[in-house]
Structure 1
Amino acid sequence: MRFISLAAFSLAALTAASPVAVFNKPIDVASPPPPSIHKIQGQGQGRHFGPAVALEENGSDDHKKRPPRVNVTTWFESYHRSDEIRQYFLQLAEDYHDLVTFVPHLARTHEGREVYAVKISAKGRGSRDKPQVWIQALQHAREWATATTAQYLAHHFTSKYGKSSNVTNILNSAEIIIIPNMNPDGYEFSWDVDRIWRKNRRNNGNGIYGVDLNRNWPDHWGNGGSSTDPDAENYGGPYANSEPEVRGLINFFKAQRRVLGTVDLHTHGQLILRPQGYTNVSSPHETEMKHVGDTMAQVIKGVHGMDYTSVRLNEISPLLTSGSTVDWFYGDQATRANGGQRPYSFAFELRPSPEGSEGGKIGFILPIEEVIPLGEEIAAAMEYFVDYVVKNPLKEK
């Protein structure tokens, strides 16, 4: 099995953050500072949502108990809690009602929080028949930069529609689905108790919590690279598809039937991963997948000079990986649910590189000044990805 040698990462070469486009003149929403990397003593359950406006797919809303508007002019200067992120997307759906649809209630977590999505596309004639690209974030709680990247992607595609010909053409011809917070229970726990918490917050008994959501997907579940120990970070759950977050997203995916490409955002390592993970055998679409992954790495490098490695998932670890989104979205179950169309499937490991992570754990704590440069390079890759997969859908072999 081949192992990857990644380019060195230099913290001295951080790219300065660029200004964020002004959407409006909102009221500022304060965000608490990130906690220490060290665990806080005691058992914590995180914080539940406060009151929020729910926008249904038809765009109607409830004006009662409307929270203050978020300040998007300073939004990417700090990380944000789950309820603030939700309000950001609700506000986006309101401000860009001709482009953005907020889709609530995809899942209800163990602690009662909501998993939701937004759909971004130019609405109008034919909008319900457009090909779709699926982007999800924050499957692992400690990977905060994935959530900010999802937020930046939504900002990028909405603010550039009608200004960038490429973005305009993309949203006229396709629909982008973004799930910005797959794991709100674990994410809140990573704020309040343990900054490097990975799993969700299933109560496994005996004071042990959590399932690794990216080992719980029902494709070759439990075939390697996951643990049966409930206390392990890569615990795959009591059975495949046991977790409400995974079940909810699978059901939502099955309702789409027009998905041509999927991206699962993770940190860290500067990798673009493609199928397969559960076996050493290359996928039947290895040539097509490699071409797209390699090109996305080149696109990213052209933005701020960051080196990403395009590689198969089964090439980066001495252990195979099973029950992951990379394999599920590419696999037969998703293909049948998707009207027979097999999607391109990738997972991104975002900044920093392993050499810049100071032993590993610090790599999950991306300096806030890198959020916008990271968003810019991934946005460029997603422009290419959406455009390419719509024009070149995978064909069965």
Structure 2
Amino acid sequence: MVLAEGGKKHTRVDPADLHSLAQTIKGRDLWILAVSGKDASQHTLGIPEVKYVGNMHGNEAVRREIPLHFILYLVASYGKNPDLTLFMDNSRIHVLPSMNPDGFEMSSEGDCDGAAGRHNANGFDLNQNFPDAFRERQVERQNETEHMIKWISSIPFTLSGNVNTGAMVAVHPYNSVTKGK
């Protein structure tokens, strides 16, 4: 079933809720799938919210595939895997497989060393486009970043993850303070 809610495309499939957060400047949707054993379409007081984001750099195709496979695992395992079912019955999990679909479309298959597609359609590195608590960034805030900030501010996420290529890094609030020291 497709619904229109506040200008957003909305599709309801139990136990999942698929909706578009917004569109990029090239008109590609930023799709989010929320899954829960309760009501995936809305926040429920007392139910933790979890967020996973992939493909912030468009040329990191594997970082788009991992969230897609995670979605398949969650939906296919619900009701079959008791531990996962318990987790999903007591949380709402949001997965945004690609924060940079324009960059993904600009990237070249098999080009693991090049930079084509790393940035969004405006040429910005979305990873470096978020506010910094201690210094003002002199870059134009991008459409994808603006919508991510609104989304993050509208839901009380308890846990977040961003699938990125490179070394494993644990990021915490205000961690940019330690850079350069």
TM-score by length of 1: 0.39
**Unaligned runs of at least 5 residues, structure 1:** 1-53, 63-89, 203-209, 224-235, 281-313, 321-397
Give the structure 2 partner of residue 112 of structure 1.
Answer: 27
Bigger CA radius of gyration: 1
Identity of aligned residues (%): 22
Q: Which letter does structure 2 place at the counterpart of 1:99?
A: P
Determine the structure 2 residue equivalent to 1:274. 171
Partner of 2:155: 256
Q: Which moved more, 1:150-159 or 1:213-222?
A: 213-222
Asked if 1:199 corresponds to 2:119, the answer is yes
Return 5+ residue gaps in structure 2 as ranges: none
2:158 is aligned with 1:238 = no
Q: What is the DSSP-based 3-state SS (H/G/I as helix, E as strand, rest coil) of the residue aligned with 2:107?
A: helix
Structure 2 match to 1:128: 44
Cα offset for 1:238? 2.5
- Contact preservation (8 Å) 1:215, 1:221: no
Instruction: Tell me the equivalent position of 1:213.
Output: 126
Structure 2 counterpart SS, 1:123: coil
Q: CA deviation at 1:128?
A: 2.7
> How many residues of Structure 1 are paired with residues of Structure 2 in the alignment?
171
Q: Deviations over 1:159-188 (max 9, x none)?
A: 111111110011100000011110011110
Q: Distance in 2 between matches of 1:243 and 1:176?
A: 25
Which is bigger in relative contact order (C-alpha 8 A, separation at least 6)?
2
Residue 222 of structure 1: how far off its partner (Å): 5.7
* 1:191 positional shift: 3.3
User: Considering only aligned residues, what root-mean-square deviation do their CA atoms show, in Å?
Assistant: 3.0
Structure with greater helix share of residues: 1
- In the alignment, the residues of structure 1 paired with residue 161 and residue 96 of structure 2 have an alpha-carbon distance, to the nearest angstrom, of 10
| Residue 172 (structure 1) aligned with residue 95 (structure 2) | no
- Please tell me the residue identity of whatever aligns with 2:139: P
Check the 8 A contact 1:57/1:101 in 2, yes or no. no
Distance 2:62 2:95 in 1: 15
Whole-angstrom CA distance in 2 between matches of 1:182 and 1:218: 17
Map of 1:343 onto structure 2: none
Instruction: Give 1:265's aligned residue.
Output: 163
CA contact (8 A) 1:98 1:123 kept: no
